Amino acid sequence: MRYFYAPEVHPMHQLDSEESKHMVRVLRASVGDEFLLIDGKGGRYHGTLHQLDKRECVLQTQLIERVPAPEVQLTLVIAPTKSTDRFEWMLEKAMEYGVSRVQPVWTTRCERSKEKRERWNRILVSAMKQSQQLWLTELMPAMPWESFLQLAQGPGFIAHCEQGEKQHFFDALNPSDSCWMAIGPEGDFTPDEIAKAKNIGATEVSLGAQRLRTETAGLAAIQMFALAQRAQSISV
């Protein structure tokens, strides 16, 4: 059954213009057709098309289930890549894996200085519908690295390519703890940026022997976090 997204779902719910256009022009829906709605906050709804025209569709809805947010959450802190396509690919994968939030940060060596917040949110919503997730990955406003460090809470990790002793991220994870994981730009974090992270208690980690692109490193960290959660659930 086709999924539609609405941040607030009402008993008689009018879809926004974009979703209505898709339902009428692409799906060629008819009154009485059935759909599923998700609100990105754990709710899944059954919807029956009650009224439609070229500009708006109204669904009669009923809540099917409400799933609580994951108790253990990952915040992926990442510098946007120079290539918009690569960063958008990473956002899509983050949503498919159910990452709780993505925090873009501007760093010294970052080659992009402009965020495309509206477009990035659309990509997350599309990936949520495609992967049938009930919780939408929260896209935080982009901010300078130093500003993020002032706000950072909980256990944190920073992956970088500088020499020195580092734990593997998978080994450093405590599957019972929510955490943030920082991935730098193509040119990596500077030594000063790494030192500032260490000063607030962040743990330096490695993602393996290979040198990874920013978006690949982000996906690798996401997968390791997911595997740690899976391993814990099996052992309990």
At 9-25, the pLDDT tens digits run 999 999 888 888 888 88
* Same domain? 60 vs 87: no
Average pLDDT of every residue of the chain: 93
CATH number where 32 lies = 2.40.240.20
With 90 as the cut, is the pLDDT of residue 231 above it? Answer: no
Which residue do the tokens 């994981």 mark?
A: 181
* Same domain? 37 vs 86: no
* Same domain? 95 vs 207: yes
Domain holding 103, by residue range, is: 74-235
**HEC readout, 28-88:** CCCCCCEEEEECCECEEEEEEEEEECCCCEEEEEEEEEECCCCCCCEEEEECCCCCHHHHH
**Residue-wise pLDDT tens digits, 128-154:** 999 999 999 999 999 999 999 999 998
Cα separation, 7 vs 148, whole angstroms = 27
Nearest to 107 by CA among 150, 78, 139, 140: 78
* Same domain? 207 vs 186: yes
* Same domain? 209 vs 119: yes
Q: Contact, 109 vs 190, CB < 8 A?
A: yes
* Same domain? 202 vs 110: yes
**Residue-wise pLDDT tens digits, 33-84:** 999 999 999 999 999 999 887 778 999 999 999 999 999 999 999 999 999 9
* Same domain? 204 vs 130: yes
* Same domain? 186 vs 163: yes
CA separation, residue 102 to residues 34, 171, 212 (Å): 33, 22, 19
Which residue do the tokens 């009018």 mark?
A: 14
Q: Contact, 15 vs 59, CB < 8 A?
A: yes
Supply the pLDDT for residue 50.
93
Q: Based on the structure, what is the number of domains in the chain?
A: 2
Residue 103's pLDDT band (cuts 50, 70, 90): very high
SS3 167: strand
Backbone angles phi, psi at 135, to 5 degrees: -115, 125
* Same domain? 36 vs 133: no
Nearest to 93 by CA among 122, 119, 131: 131
CA atoms within 13 A on the CB side of 199: 9
Query: From the centroid of its chain, how far is CA 169?
Result: 19
Supply the pLDDT for residue 236.
54
Which of 49, 66, 83 is a domain's end point? 66
Q: What's the predicted TM-score (pTM) here?
A: 0.92
* Same domain? 154 vs 81: yes
